[in-house]
Amino acid sequence: MEENRKLLLDTFQNHLFQSYQAYCETHQLPLTIDGFIIYLIDREFISSKKIKNFTISKEFETEYPKCDFHKTNTVKRLALRFNISERGVWGVLGKKGSN
């Protein structure tokens, strides 16, 4: 069973990279990590919800010490910065352990 999953992931990876290479050749773009991330987002392999959750979680880790380890102040700061409701930020942080 694990072999099938590995084969599926390896095949997916090969097809995805070949598609990205073809895209770059067609549009005369260099193969870069930034370009690849944009490609994944544009092709909706990475959802906007995942982007939001990842970004809020990582920014919380950075901002929490700057806010003297006050969660509420950190949440308010992130809500203002990203134009997301405080409740939305709390929701992302509540899901952090379950991802």
Q: What is the mean pLDDT of the chain?
A: 93
Is 99 exposed, middle or buried, given 0-12, 13-18 or 19+ CB atoms closer than 10 A? Answer: exposed
pTM of the model: 0.78
- In which residue are the tokens 């870069």 written? 32
pLDDT of 56 above 60: yes
- C-alpha radius of gyration, the chain, whole number: 18
Q: Say how far apart CA 63 and CA 60 lie, in whole Å.
A: 5
- Residue 45 to residue 51: CA distance in whole angstroms: 11
> What average pLDDT does this structure show over 21-50?
95
